[in-house]
Every structure is written in structure tokens, then in C-alpha cells.
Amino acid sequence: MSDSTVLGLHHEEEHHPELLHHFVDAQQQRDASSLGMWIFLATEVMFFGGLFCSYLIYRRWYFGDFGAASKSIDATLGATNTAVLICSSLTVVLAIWAAQTARRTLLIGTLILTMLFGLAFLGIKGKEYKDKFDEHHVPGASFSFDHVPVPGHPDQYANPRHAEIFFALYFIMTGLHALHMIVGLGVFSWLLYMAWKGHFTPEYHTPLEIGGLYWHFVDIVWIYLFPLLYLIDRHP
């Protein structure tokens, strides 16, 4: 009994308000949160992995048709979006650094910048989707992809049914990615609110790190989506 009293007292003395009682110390709590996030990211890798795998199978089968369909997407918009996401990843690490070094203005500024980059990404994505709707490249009843030559074979037209599979994969993969971006924006508005309230200190800023891991993961998915969807067989 005396043991537990001593432990309790000891605990009481250096108890950080954010330290939950079932953790030994702040480091253990932080490691546990980070490990949990990485396990979640592992499930996300498998989730996107299945889509990438089906993409690879169809791309092997219908390479020419995929090339023709990929060429109809604006690669410059895709490259711009890649750069936008990379910049947002930089502002995320800067936000964590700002919290570690107790720079409140920088922390709030970089969090707002991250969200602005995220919104810019979604805006550019929306423009791209609008173009695809205008061109009737959305799989479904009004889909049309007639008389589009296969890259490298000007005398040969792409099979519209095969191109439709490319566009289905394009919309599912970029759509799920965009959904992750929207969730990320939600997470970051909450982080911004917490930062505004002054919850993050050099000792405690785990939510920033966890939210950052998620944001970087979504960035990595895009790093693969960009060349795979936008840059098939582009050369003249």
C-alpha cells in the first residue's frame, strides 16, 4: 500500500496535464500514438495497394488504350498539383518544428498555409474533373472515347471500353485520394484550433506529429499516382 502511495505521489509531482494515467511517461505515450498511426497507415497502404495492383494488371493488358486515355488528361495540372502537395508537406514539418521551438505565430501560419495548399490541390483537381465531364470521359452512359489514336500507332484507334477502364481507375484512385485530402483538411482545422488555443508546447505536440504522418502519407500516394495516371506513354 505504501508503495502505491509513493508511486502516486511521485506521479502527481511531474504529471503533465496531457499525460494519461496508463502511460509511464510522455515518451511512452508519444511512441504509442505514433505506433498506432503507423499501423493505421499500414492498412492504408494495403487499401491503396489493391487499387495500384489492379491498375498495373489492366495497364499491362491494355497498354495502348491506357496511353491514349492518359494523354487526354492535363499533365501540367497534375505536375502543378504534385508541387502543391510537396509544398504542403514542407509546411507540415515546419509546423511541427515551430511547436518544438515554441514559435506560435509560425505554427499557426504554417498550419493555415498547409490548409491553403490542400484547398488549392482540391481546386485544381476540380478543374481537371470538370474537363473530364465536359469531354464525356467519365465512365457511364455518356462515356465516349471514339477515334482517339493509340500513341505510337497513328493508324490505330484506342478501344473505348478499355479506355473506360482507365478512366474508372483514374476517378476511383484520384477520388479516394481527394477524399483523404478532405479528411486531412478536417484534421488540420482541428489542429489549427488546438494550436490557436495554445495546446501545443515543446513538451507536448503529439497530435501535430500524428496529423503530419497522415498528411505525408497522402502526399506519398500522390507521388505514385501522378506518374502512373498522367504520364503513360507521353513522348511524341
Closest to 225 (Cα-Cα) out of 182, 179, 145, 171: 171
Among 109, 149, 160, 227, the residue binding another protein under the rule CB under 8 A is 227
Which window, 18-26, 34-42, 141-149, 154-162, contacts another protein (CB under 8 A)? Answer: 34-42
DSSP for 108-151 reads HHHHHHHHHHHHHHHHHHHHHHHHHHHTT-SSSTT---TTPEET
Site for another protein, residues 102 to 141, rule: CB under 8 A: none
The Cβ of residue 80 has, within 10 Å, a number of other Cβ atoms equal to 14
Whether 177 and 214 have beta carbons less than 8 Å apart is answered as no
88 or 115: CB nearest another protein: 88
Q: Which of 6, 8, 25, 49 binds another protein (CB under 8 A)?
A: 49
# chain residues binding another protein, by CB under 8 A: 48
| 35 contributes a contact to another protein by CB under 8 A | yes
Q: Which is nearer to another protein, 143 or 226 (CB)?
A: 226
For residue 169, give the nearest of 43, 47, 59, 41 by alpha carbon: 59
Q: Which residues pair with 147 in a beta bridge?
A: none
Q: Which residues bind another protein (CB under 8 A)?
A: 31, 34-35, 38-39, 41-42, 45-46, 49-50, 52-53, 56-57, 60-61, 75, 79, 82-83, 86-87, 89-90, 92-94, 97, 100, 209, 212-213, 216-217, 219-220, 223-224, 226-228, 231-236
